[in-house]
Amino acid sequence: MAIDTKICDRFALYNADCIEVLSSLPSAFLHLSIYSPPFATEGGGLYNYSSSEADLSNCRSYDQFFSHYEFVVRQMARITMPGRMSCVHSMDIPGKGRLIDFPGDIIRLHEKHGFRFHARFAIWKEPLRVAMRTRSLGLRHSQLVKDATVCNNAGADYLLVFRKEGENPVPVEHRVGLTRYAGARAVPDSFECADGKTRSAAAFHPSVWKDAKTNKLAHWIWQQYASSVWGDIRIERVLPYRAARDKDDEKHVHPLQLDVIERCVELYSNIGETVLSPFAGVGSEVCGAIANERNGVGIELKPSYFRQAVKNTEHVLLNGLGDESGQSDMRADFLEETGSDDGEEFAPDGSPASGRETSFSETSQTSIFDIDGVGGEKLF
């Protein structure tokens, strides 16, 4: 079971095999899950994160990966409340002379186990940055001049949103609409209203403007979030992770962006509810939950990632996530580690090169997040 735990009244972190922890959780208790699983290609894991047999990234083939991942999805379906969401980060995977529809296979697996495919958001990547980082032949202008049939695009990441079958017993309500925007796009300074007057964005704060139906600021935020393409996700806005890498790790380390996590948390959960990540990495999803007044549960197999997750989560619990101006240390880690504003590494021919996304106080064993057989008392 758990190698180590860090548990308090706002979050629970487990250094353990996620399948073992998930199987210990009660059925239909979870309000929302957000995570990025290891990615798979024809030869197994696209990147390898540890030497553990329990690590999905060590599967030897694409089919073996999905046989292993199915145990996770089955448990996620069991613990998720009816009508609630699971958000899964993915992308098309470079294969041998082709792209592998990894998101499509994730969709089919979830639908097999009682989830309905609800939405797909494309997370845009700037082509020039991708070309400079990956040195992919298909993104070179010289290749366009020579033979454009070899050219391709700077593939997006995808956020796949699934809804558990059944009726949601607790609606996720936004009675005053959305009031905070997570993204690089600047919020307009003012809005023109139906009465012909132009009012500042501050005038639409819920403490001032009481009618959500006419709140122009809330409408603007929703229009950005409702787009099928999220074009202003701040790729470098991630949690610190460099200290989590072991000396033999592969270079690829890329926590999920905080903008993506915060959008999911605010859209699909209520204040005070529980958000879980079975692949917690350095704690991004847990931090995004507690910074937005939710509770977080994270499970991470690799000890060095777990230790960094504890540090990150304790820091965010005391200080919050901060805005873009407070992300300088995170950006420095990101750029120094990858040499770019993204974390994926590919060889010049476009094939993947060679993984992934430290503690202050003693672990408490009296929290509602303790799990029978893992941390002590039963969860809830």
74-112 confidence digits (pLDDT tens): 999 999 999 999 999 999 988 888 899 999 999 999 999
CB 306 within 8 A of CB 359: no
Cβ atoms within 10 Å, residue 57: 23
Give the tokens for residue 289.
């939950």
- The stretch 16-28 carries a mean pLDDT of 96
Candidates 311, 268, 305; CA nearest to 289 is: 268
Reduce the DSSP state of residue 200 to 3 states and report it.
strand
Report whether pLDDT(298) > 90: yes
- Every domain of the chain with CATH number 3.40.50.150 lies at 4-172+232-338
Report whether pLDDT(274) > 80: yes
- Encode pLDDT of 210-246 as tens digits: 888 899 999 999 999 999 999 999 988 998 765 545 5
Q: How confident is the model at residue 357 (pLDDT cuts 50, 70, 90)?
A: very low
pLDDT of 361: 29
pLDDT of 130: 85
Mean model confidence pLDDT for the chain: 82
- The stretch 297-303 carries a mean pLDDT of 94
User: Please, which residues have CB within 8 angstroms of residue 341's CB and are 6 or more apart in sequence?
Assistant: 129, 235, 236, 334, 335
CATH of 4-172+232-338, one of 3.30.390.50, 3.40.50.1100, 3.40.50.150, 3.40.50.2300: 3.40.50.150
CB 159 within 8 A of CB 264: yes
Report whether pLDDT(275) > 80: yes
CA distance 171 to 294: 15
Reduce the DSSP state of residue 19 to 3 states and report it.
helix
Give the tokens for residue 218.
């809330």
